[in-house]
């Protein structure tokens, strides 16, 4: 239970985030530095994301499977860029069963290598393609600057791994996954992410092309919330994932991989939260509605009974509701603040006078474009009104986040404009495409190319940093990132 | 794809098991000794078990959460019996992020210790109890004699961890979990398990009382398929899980833990399988029905089209169905054997002559008490008939397994009878309760006490081994086990 408020977001965004994840009971710091305990209130959000994404994954023909988390060190070395990218972050098991192991085992940072090994075993002919696999798993990447949800030493994710006969089919898959992530972010998390390709300097270790969805957080920074990679034949060649084509010739498959993780929850927090704490989109809220009965003693019995009856009616409509009737030691005001801090979309207050008048006080977490924060609503109409109120609140959060992103995304045609924009938002700038130039920009401003937006209009210009011709036929989104 | 049959179960049960799990595409051996890759066909069974059990867990008021898999070695040492029980099986991370760690981390073999640490933080008052948590996770126990599903170095499970105000409430929880496991085994897996308490010699390391569900495999051996532990105040004292009672006094909580794992899939395989391969209960079968269209060339187009149409009609009823229309290189006979080996409950064959007559050939994986293996069924009635056929098949498997267990469970009142019974089944015998005596029995016969059956009638007698008075007021089930 939270004993006090949080540092306002507007004062110190970083302190606000670190406090709210703990005080809202989403997580606790794990016993080992950089690890996290996901508490029921946070885990429920993960389950809601999982359920929706798993349905999309299965409907598109993928099968879930489970691969071991211990990978022989030698596997990682087979793809040169891959091992270079991940080596600094590995956790290594050297002893097991009371003995030193002959070959150290790494705890998977991602599973391209081990899954590649089995794809090679399972694929013989073109009839075995496409092979569409997914797994829900934990992975480990040792983090120097850990932050709950955003960068933790162990995190939960799904990783899709697929093999295809040719580049066209593999690219269709790569874009399917990107689109699934963008839809998930938009529809469930109310995050209006921008989808696009990463520049070569920002690609996944071992990929030919990397695509990303990027969300703008309320401090103007970007969060990469899901990535999809076309791996070409890099892993296919390293692991001999090959098939006999219709002419009987052995050819390497084209593979993809794509992942979405518990990081998405960090994105939800930073896209919608405000000075008071979390603001949760109804489709991801563990409790969409909380009912607080008011009064002490005999009055509490009356309002508590009404609250439980209303809760049952709301629950029967498939709405996630919680009745706060087991904390008599706390004042109503404390409870209101507590549920606001925890981001519950709709709070219903039932006092004795309300009951006499046949109404409840309905409080939205925020006033929306069309509705004020608090209003009195006839008690018996609450269940029928809630689905519309929750849907409106969900739509309002998406629209608000979209407007915020638009307001804080500006084209820059001079270095001065660029440098002025990236501390508080995104800059749309031309870039020469050279990784060294990206690195200079990062050293000067802490901003990196977030993506080449898929929907950006065709335009040519000169690099905002070095004045060479632009490389991508459109502007690139630059911003500071998590 | 399976290229040949399996060693008959009746010839060599162990070879049969090892072959069938691979050839039916349930699993593959992992790259590290003792690990397994769970392939889509096996993982779907796990998902079906998960979905059902997760629903039961949530309906009973538990919340899912996620705790880190790396546990400081010092945590395990806090409960003396616990560390002694698990030390030989631990995998240890000594290096991470390119450095040697100051304190080695063990990969969780189970999570009582780390969850205990957090229960202590989260529980203040009697109002915070009961605290009902569950997690779906991977755990690691280094296995000297690994076997797919039954004993693997890494396995998937759920682990419930709860804290209560007193022994009564904790014992109710312990028995709730045991009952949930028994119902899951019986209703989904068609495994007529026996529920009961473990003898002191067979308890979980750190438990006050351990309960188990035991199934009889078709070689007469027992499989422990789920356990539920009342931990008393052992972990509460080691981790200071305490609460203020209504009088304001600080008292230790009473905790429980309970787990069900991918081992259950091994139980399904060995409870129902036969010489030809797997026999899957419909409620756990990835494909409840497979349709095999017959014929080549133009005929294949006709039967294939009919098969896909029938498949769509069956799918729309919520039945898991697969149409085998993408392997023209294989003969119908090969396909029939393949799906039998893979345990599909119902196979539908559609040949050109069947089509002309408006029928399909329906083949059950086994003839049941009321129905022969193969019969012709009117094509247009197949969708409406299937739910009943699948339900009957599920009920038949349960009844058959129950009869098998009854036939192979016998009371023994002499050592000679006992020694003759345990190589092929279970023996119901009196036991003195001494762990040394259990160990002698094990050394002589390889049999161990599986459980003191909850439903066994009250009876007194003398120990089948040492002739001392019986300790449990009823007979104990002894058998060899996996």
Residue A259: which region, alpha, beta or left (left: phi > 0; alpha: psi -120 to 50)?
A: beta
A247 at B interface, C-beta within 8 A:
no
Residues of A in contact with B97 (CB under 8 A): 88-91, 142-144
**DSSP track, A153-216:** SEEEEEEEEEEESSHHHHHHHHHHHHHHHHHHHHHTS---PEEEEPPGGG--TT-SEEEEEEEE
A157 at B interface, C-beta within 8 A:
no
B65 and A107: CB-CB below 8 Å? no
Half-sphere exposure of B365 (CA within 13 A, CB side): 31
Query: What's the pLDDT score for residue B4?
Result: 65
| Rounded Cα distance, A286 and A232, in Å | 40
Contact B70, B229 (CB under 8 A): no
| Rounded Cα distance, B439 and B450, in Å | 13
Mention every residue, 6+ apart, whose C-beta is less than 8 A from residue A95.
Answer: A101, B91, B92, B94, B104
C-alpha distance from A219 to closest chain B C-alpha (Å): 29
Which CATH number describes the domain made up of A289-389? 3.40.50.800
Distances (CA, A) of A73 to A27, A121, A450: 32, 20, 31
| Rounded Cα distance, A69 and A51, in Å | 23
> Which residue positions in chain B have pLDDT lower than 50?
1-2
User: Residue A205 is encoded by which pair of tokens?
Assistant: 């270790």
Distance of CA B10 to the CA centre of its chain: 23
Residues of A (423-452) whose Cβ lies below 8 Å from B: none
Confidence of residue A4 (pLDDT cuts 50, 70, 90): low
B93 and A93: CB-CB below 8 Å? yes
Beta bridge partners of B359: B378
A114 and B31: CB-CB below 8 Å? yes
Kindly calculate the radius of gyration of chain B based on its CA atoms and give it in whole angstroms. Answer: 25
Which stretches within A6-97 are classed as H helix? 13-23, 40-59, 73-76, 80-86
Distances (CA, A) of B215 to A182, A338, B10, B20, B269: 47, 49, 19, 20, 12
Q: End-to-end distance of chain A based on CA atoms, in angstroms?
A: 28
Distances (CA, A) of A308 to A78, A292, A323, A326, A354: 60, 10, 7, 11, 15
Q: Which of A47, A68, A90 sits opposite B154 (nearest CB)?
A: A68
Confidence of residue A94 (pLDDT cuts 50, 70, 90): very high
ipTM of the complex: 0.96
Q: Is the per-residue pLDDT at A8 higher than 80? A: yes
| Rounded Cα distance, B235 and B117, in Å | 9
| Rounded Cα distance, A411 and A461, in Å | 12
C-alpha distance from B368 to closest chain A C-alpha (Å): 32
SS3 content of chain B, % helix, strand, coil (to 5): 40, 25, 35
Half-sphere exposure of B208 (CA within 13 A, CB side): 14
C-alpha distance from A90 to closest chain B C-alpha (Å): 6
| Rounded Cα distance, A37 and A148, in Å | 9
CATH architecture of B13-272: 2-Layer Sandwich (3.30)
| Rounded Cα distance, A84 and B367, in Å | 58
Query: What's the pLDDT score for residue A83?
Result: 85
Q: What is the rounded average pLDDT for all residues in chain A?
A: 96
A40 and B75: CB-CB below 8 Å? no
Contact B112, B82 (CB under 8 A): yes
For residue B217, the 8-state DSSP code is -
Q: Which of A66, A97, A153 sits opposite B156 (nearest CB)?
A: A66
Q: Which of B30, B38, B87 sits opposite A65 (nearest CB)?
A: B38
Beta bridge partners of A462: A469
B66 and A46: CB-CB below 8 Å? yes
| Rounded Cα distance, B446 and B438, in Å | 10
A35 at B interface, C-beta within 8 A:
yes
| Rounded Cα distance, B129 and B122, in Å | 10
| Rounded Cα distance, A186 and A206, in Å | 29
Query: What's the pLDDT score for residue B82?
Result: 84
Residues of B in contact with A121 (CB under 8 A): 28
C-alpha distance from A51 to closest chain B C-alpha (Å): 11
Cβ-based burial of A89 (10 A; exposed 0-12, middle 13-18, buried ≥19): middle
Q: Which of B43, B63, B92 sits opposite A96 (nearest CB)?
A: B92
A43 and B66: CB-CB below 8 Å? yes
**DSSP track, B326-363:** S-TTS-HHHHHHHHHHTT-SEEEEE-HHHHHHTEEEEE
| Rounded Cα distance, B52 and B189, in Å | 11
Domain A409-479 CATH assignment equals 3.40.190.10: no
Q: Could you read off the pLDDT of A131-174 as tens digits, one per residue? A: 999 999 999 999 889 999 999 999 999 999 999 999 999 999 99
**DSSP track, A255-281:** EEEEEEETHHHHHHHHHH-BTTB----
Listed residue (A1, A44, A49, A8) closest to A24, CA to CA: A1
Angle between helices A382-407 and A263-272 (to 10 degrees): 90
Confidence of residue A32 (pLDDT cuts 50, 70, 90): very high
Residues in chain B: 482
Residues of B (100-129) whose Cβ lies below 8 Å from A: 104-105, 107, 114, 117-118, 121, 127
- At residue A75's C-alpha, the angle toward residues A71 and A78, to 5°, is 160
B118 and A43: CB-CB below 8 Å? no
B65 and A37: CB-CB below 8 Å? yes
Q: Could you read off the pLDDT of A43-61 as tens digits, one per residue? A: 999 999 999 999 999 999 9
Backbone angles phi, psi at A250, to 5 degrees: -85, 120
| Rounded Cα distance, A240 and A173, in Å | 21
Query: What's the pLDDT score for residue A2?
Result: 44
| Rounded Cα distance, B144 and B147, in Å | 10
Query: What's the pLDDT score for residue A1?
Result: 41
Q: Which of A46, A72, A92 sits opposite B95 (nearest CB)?
A: A92
Q: What is the mean pLDDT of residues A402-410?
A: 98
C-alpha distance from B467 to closest chain A C-alpha (Å): 39
Residues of B in contact with A162 (CB under 8 A): none
Residue A473: which region, alpha, beta or left (left: phi > 0; alpha: psi -120 to 50)?
A: left
Query: What's the pLDDT score for residue B476?
Result: 98
SS3 A33: coil
Query: What's the pLDDT score for residue A336?
Result: 97
Listed residue (B39, B266, B48, B287) closest to A65, CA to CA: B39
Residues of A in contact with B89 (CB under 8 A): 97
Strand residues in B141-208 grouped as ranges (E): 154-164, 194-197
Query: What's the pLDDT score for residue B1?
Result: 41
Residues of B in contact with A118 (CB under 8 A): 28, 37
Q: Is the per-residue pLDDT at A91 higher than 50? A: yes
Mutation for testing the B interface, residue in A2, A23, A40 having most B CBs under 10 Å: A40
SS3 B23: helix
Mention every residue, 6+ apart, whose C-beta is less than 8 A from residue A452.
Answer: A196, A197, A198, A199, A472, A474, A476, A477
Query: What's the pLDDT score for residue A274?
Result: 97
A63 and B43: CB-CB below 8 Å? yes
Query: What's the pLDDT score for residue B2?
Result: 44
Q: What is the mean pLDDT of residues A433-449?
A: 97
Domain B289-385 CATH assignment equals 3.40.1360.10: no
Backbone angles phi, psi at A428, to 5 degrees: -100, 110
C-alpha distance from B123 to closest chain A C-alpha (Å): 10
Residues of A (379-408) whose Cβ lies below 8 Å from B: none
| Rounded Cα distance, B226 and B258, in Å | 8
> Which 3-state string (H, E, C) describes A293-312?
ECCCHHHHHHHHHHHHHHHH
Query: Taking the domains of chain B in order of start, what are their residue ranges?
Result: 13-272, 289-385, 409-479
Q: For the beta carbon of residue A444, count every other beta carbon within 10 angstroms.
A: 13
Residues of A (42-71) whose Cβ lies below 8 Å from B: 43-44, 46-47, 63-71
Name the residue of chain B whose CA is nearest to A75's CA: B31
Confidence of residue A80 (pLDDT cuts 50, 70, 90): confident
User: Residue B58 is encoded by which pair of tokens?
Assistant: 């949530």
Q: Could you read off the pLDDT of A227-257 as tens digits, one per residue? A: 999 999 999 999 999 999 999 999 999 999 9
């Amino acid at each position: 239970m939270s004993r006090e408020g949080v540092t306002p977001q507007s004062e110190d965004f970083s302190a606000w985030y670190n406090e709210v994840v703990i005080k809202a009971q989403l997580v606790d710091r794990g016993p080992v530095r950089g690890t996290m305990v996901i508490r029921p209130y946070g885990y429920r959000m993960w389950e809601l994301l999982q359920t929706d994404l798993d349905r999309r994954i299965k409907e598109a023909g993928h099968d879930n499977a489970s691969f071991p988390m211990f990978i022989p060190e030698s596997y990682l070395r087979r793809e040169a860029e891959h091992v270079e990218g991940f080596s600094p972050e590995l956790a290594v098991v050297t002893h097991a069963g009371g003995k030193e192991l002959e070959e150290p085992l790494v705890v998977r940072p991602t599973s391209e290598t081990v899954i590649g090994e089995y794809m090679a075993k399972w694929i013989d002919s073109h009839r075995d393609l496409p092979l569409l696999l997914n797994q829900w798993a934990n992975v480990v990447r040792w983090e120097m600057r850990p932050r709950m949800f955003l960068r933790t030493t162990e995190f939960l994710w799904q990783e899709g791994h697929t093999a295809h006969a040719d580049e066209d089919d593999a690219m269709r898959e790569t874009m399917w996954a990107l689109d699934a992530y963008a839809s998930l972010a938009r529809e469930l998390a109310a995050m209006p992410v921008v989808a696009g390709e990463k520049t070569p300097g920002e690609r996944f270790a071992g990929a030919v092309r990397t695509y990303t969805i990027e969300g703008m957080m309320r401090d103007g920074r970007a969060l990469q919330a899901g990535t999809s990679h076309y791996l070409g034949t890099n892993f296919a060649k390293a692991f001999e994932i090959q098939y006999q084509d219709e002419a009987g010739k052995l050819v390497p498959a084209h593979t993809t991989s794509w992942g979405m993780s518990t990081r998405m929850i960090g994105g939800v927090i930073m896209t919608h939260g405000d000075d008071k704490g979390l603001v949760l989109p109804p489709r991801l809220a563990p409790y969409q509605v909380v009912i607080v009965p008011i009064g002490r003693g005999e009055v509490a019995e009356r309002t508590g009974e009404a609250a439980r009856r209303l809760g049952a009616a709301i629950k029967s409509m498939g709405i996630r509701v919680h009745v706060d009737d087991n904390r008599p030691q706390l004042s109503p005001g404390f409870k209101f603040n507590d549920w606001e801090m925890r981001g519950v979309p709709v709070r219903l207050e039932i006092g004795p006078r309300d009951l006499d008048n046949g109404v409840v006080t309905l409080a939205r977490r925020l006033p929306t474009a069309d509705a004020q924060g608090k209003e009195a609503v006839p008690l018996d109409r609450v269940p029928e009104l809630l689905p519309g109120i929750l849907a409106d609140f969900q739509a309002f959060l998406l629209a608000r986040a979209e407007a915020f992103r638009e307001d804080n995304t500006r084209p820059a045609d001079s270095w001065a404009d660029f440098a002025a924009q990236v501390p508080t938002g995104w800059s749309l700038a031309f870039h020469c495409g050279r990784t060294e130039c990206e690195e200079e920009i990062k050293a000067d401003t802490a901003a990196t190319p977030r993506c080449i937006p898929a929907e950006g209009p065709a335009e040519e210009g000169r690099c905002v940093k070095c004045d060479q011709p632009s490389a991508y036929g459109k502007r690139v989104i630059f911003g500071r990132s998590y």
